[in-house]
Amino acid sequence: MKITRLESMVLRIPYSSGGSDEASAWGGRRWETADALLVRVETDAGIVGWGEAFGYNVIPATKAILDEVVAPLVTGRDARAIEPLMLDAQQKLHIFGRGGPVIYALSGLDIALWDIAGKAAGLPVHRLLGGARHEELPCYASLIRYATPDGVAMNVDRALKAGFGAIKLHEIDHGCILAARGAAGPRVPIMLDVNCPWTLDEAQRQADMLAAMDPEWLEEPVWPPEDIDALAYLRSRTRVRLAAGENAATMMQFSQMLSAGAVDVLQPSPTKCGGISTLRQVFTLAGAANTRVVPHSFYDGPGFLAALHCAAAFQTTPLLEWRFFDLETPPLGPDMQPRNGRIRIPDGPGLGADPDPRVIEKYRTA
């Protein structure tokens, strides 16, 4: 079964209501829309697979790699030979970077190939991975950064009323964090993702202060994110659990994090680290190190489904990140939305849900 075409497409879906437009930005500009970079792979057997490549504000670069570099490289290759194809692509493209848009693009390809494999076999991806341990997974509501105590408190309250039993903040202001704890009460788990803002000394002081707020974990406190030794040192000096891995792009980096004892929770991102092929290896490696894996899944399309299938197959303590956005239209349709803070594991072939063609037609911009 040969790959006949790889197509990338950009979706820009507006927010509907609930304060999402108040969010401050990551990556240099405000998020006026929820943007996604989809990857569509066609085969000569008529089977189409869908993937998602990491993008956000770097979507133009990742799309260019997909269209101009990856598509010519993989057209005509056997879609069923995922591991040798991905290894060959990574080796051929390694001189252009082992992280960033090249790996993001290959991640989207890999997810699409697993979708094709499942559809060809008539099985959901989690069955290809050994079978699901769970019929559904609890999700935590991952909020965007609101940067005001009132905005944080309002959206924590909305998430709890929607049935989510845990909340993740992307706030760095202590007033905003305190507002979240006040809105949630003392027993609701609150995770803090601060997005790599601090030196080691600053992170130590912040962790000591944040310990009184009883966070479930503190995520990526140290700049730069690849300073694994600093993260390991901080973990040895604080009683706050540390989480990281969203910015790791290769198995070598995940192995180094585990060997250094740098994290309590490992967070590989399927659209950034090599897709399902890498994600399943991370679960195996972390299991041997007795380290919990909760994938980064701050997406609304096939990237989220990739994390969902792997978590269903490998997690012993189930939990998955759900991007708590108010979108005008969900790209996977209403069936792939959490209900009372829990999401079912799809049983359809492949990833179990394709992007809605009506959503693509309405919101595609490139």
The amino acid at residue 358 is: R
Q: Is the domain defined by 127-363 classed in CATH 3.40.47.10?
A: no
Instruction: Give residue 26's pLDDT.
Output: 62
Domain ranges of the chain: 3-122, 127-363
What's 112-135 look like in SS3? HHHHHHHHHHCCEHHHHCCCCCCC
List, in sequence order, the alpha helices (H) in 122-265: 125-128, 149-161, 174-184, 200-210, 228-237, 251-260
Q: Quote the pLDDT of residue 325.
A: 85
DSSP string of 269-319, one letter each residue: -TTTTTHHHHHHHHHHHHHHTT-EE------SSHHHHHHHHHHHHH-SS--
SS3 322: strand
Q: What is the pLDDT along the chain (366 residues), one digit of tens a residue?
A: 999 999 999 999 998 764 444 444 466 667 788 999 999 999 999 999 999 999 889 999 999 999 999 999 999 999 999 999 999 999 999 999 999 999 999 999 999 999 999 999 999 999 999 999 999 999 999 999 999 999 999 999 999 999 999 999 999 999 999 999 999 999 999 999 999 999 999 999 999 999 999 999 999 999 999 999 999 999 999 999 999 999 999 999 999 999 999 999 999 999 999 999 999 999 999 999 999 999 999 999 999 999 999 999 999 999 999 999 889 999 998 889 999 999 999 999 999 999 999 999 999 999
Q: How far apart are CA 155 and CA 19, in angstroms?
A: 8
Looking at domain 3-122, its CATH architecture is: 2-Layer Sandwich (3.30)
| Residue 352, both tokens | 């179990």
> What is the separation, in whole angstroms, between the first and last Cα of the chain?
28
Which tokens is 140 given?
């935590």
Q: Do domains 3-122 and 127-363 have the same CATH topology?
A: no
Residue 141 three-state SS: strand
- Please enumerate in sequence order all residues whose Cβ is within 8 A of that of 295, keeping only pairs 6 or more positions apart, or say none: 267, 268, 269, 270, 279, 307, 310, 311, 320, 321
